[in-house]
Amino acid sequence: MNLDIIILAAGQGKRMYSAKPKILHSVGSWCLLEHVHKTAMQLNPDRIWIVHGHGSRQVLDAMHHLDATWIEQLEQRGTGHAVAQVSARLGDDGTVLVLYGDVPLITADTLNRLLAHGDPDRRLNLLTVGLDEPAGYGRILRNATGAVTHIVEEKDANAEQKQIREVNTGILCTSGALLKRWVGQLRNENSQQEYYLTDIVSMAVQDGVPLHTARPDDVVEVMGVNTRTQLATLERAWQRRQAQWLMERGVTLRDPERIDIRGEITDLGQDVEIDINVILEGKIRLGNGVRIGPHVVLRNASIGDQTEILAYSLIEDAAIGSACRIGPFARVRPETVLADQVHIGNFVEIKKTSIGNGSKVNHLSYIGDACIGQQVNVGAGTITCNYDGVNKHQTLIEDGAFIGSDTQLVAPVKVGKNATIGAGSTITRDAPADALTLSRVGQKTVDGWTRPLKKTQT
């Protein structure tokens, strides 16, 4: 079966009160239009058509990577008018599915059920849903036998029709030949003077074309976005869906309502545990037995087996090995690679650094542009002074070195294998292997000195 998918994405979204078109607002890590396009691609269509209008330049600049044919609707005169921008380019054979760029959570399973009904050459299939509060939606009118006869828009409905709870979602499919014929017959004789795509329902009834309906598994699939409140509602629905996906694959979530997944988990091990208020962004890999503490942010990060990330840590664009311990309050910045059994402690910042097996940077240190070997101990308050005001320079610390607390390593500098750097040192030249290197001002005691005392007031 040939399949064309039309995504209507020309609206402004005035109630968003935004400088950017509505479809460019995001749920999770993708904008509304991207969500719909991703779902459309799961149906393996022959062509995807995107009808754009308001903020066309912004939309095209942001979404040019989508695999689609873009059609501009210069005037926004209703859904029927939007489809008419495409219909002349459609073939008569095959099926046409109409989706909406501001309805991001529709699923491929629901759409496949919609597409499965009836003879592809002679049918009109509608996706409907029952709502407790149907205000604002077009109502589905049925005859005594339950057959759909018409859709009446909210603004044109009478009091009795407004009591109907079954509403039109706008998502439908039919053949290319029928769609072209019906769209060509649309009129704008209604309160909005717009061309309603829903008017093709009564045309199908008049032509004796069978109508079929399907419903989504969850009402959030067909919820659109017109306000920031609706955007927030769908954001939380999306996060619940992601949380459910994780739990079904063996992840323990301390509270499924308090996790935000704004990216893609590309690899997921067994027995992963995630505490509250964790944010996962970009591409994430979590190995077996990974434990993530509360309020952690992972962005484009790979976390090895049995590694623990403690509270309030941030890891971005970095690879962490197995059996590591990171945090609390640690920041691991881009281009950092940690081997196995590495400890990064509280209030430590690591940037563009490789650290070998079993090494530790446990307290209050900044390590940038460094290469650290195995079984190295970096004491509290250590700084690699990597920037001279113009260029960045590297610090090399070889296996087994011990860096005393409050040390400044002024790069470029090398600390040799099994070297020891005395606490409080400023190292400006290479420190040799197997030796103690230190730089300190001599300590002295001043005899007879006393602390000053506050003068007593008389």
Taking a C-beta distance cutoff of 8 angstroms, is the pair 224, 171 a contact?
A: no
Give 346-352 contacts, CB < 8 A, sequence gap 24+: 350/318
Residue 174 CA to residue 98 CA, distance in Å, equals 9
- Told to judge if 35 belongs to the known catalytic residues of this protein, a careful annotator would answer no
* 357: phi then psi, degrees, rounded to nearest 5: -55, 135
388 Cβ neighbours under 8 A, 6+ residues apart:
none
Catalytic residue among 117, 212, 363, 393: 363
Taking a C-beta distance cutoff of 8 angstroms, is the pair 411, 385 a contact?
A: yes
Residue 79 CA to residue 93 CA, distance in Å, equals 22
Measured from the Cβ of residue 170, the count of other Cβ atoms closer than 10 Å reads: 21
Burial label for 452, CB within 10 Å (0-12, 13-18, 19+), is exposed
CA distances (Å), origin 212, targets 87, 140, 233: 22, 12, 30
141 alpha carbon, distance to own chain's centre: 39
CA torsion angle 103 254 296 362 (round to 10) = -170
Q: What is the largest CA-CA distance in the chain?
A: 111
Strands (E), 53-107: 69-72, 95-100
63 Cβ neighbours under 8 A, 6+ residues apart:
24, 31, 33, 34, 50
Residue 82 CA to residue 60 CA, distance in Å, equals 17
Residue 407 CA to residue 324 CA, distance in Å, equals 24
Residue 303 CA to residue 158 CA, distance in Å, equals 59
Structure tokens at 113: 């059920």
276 alpha carbon, distance to own chain's centre: 18
Structure tokens at 378: 């970096």
Taking a C-beta distance cutoff of 8 angstroms, is the pair 344, 324 a contact?
A: yes
At which residue do the structure tokens 């003879």 appear?
119
* Residues assigned a catalytic role: 363
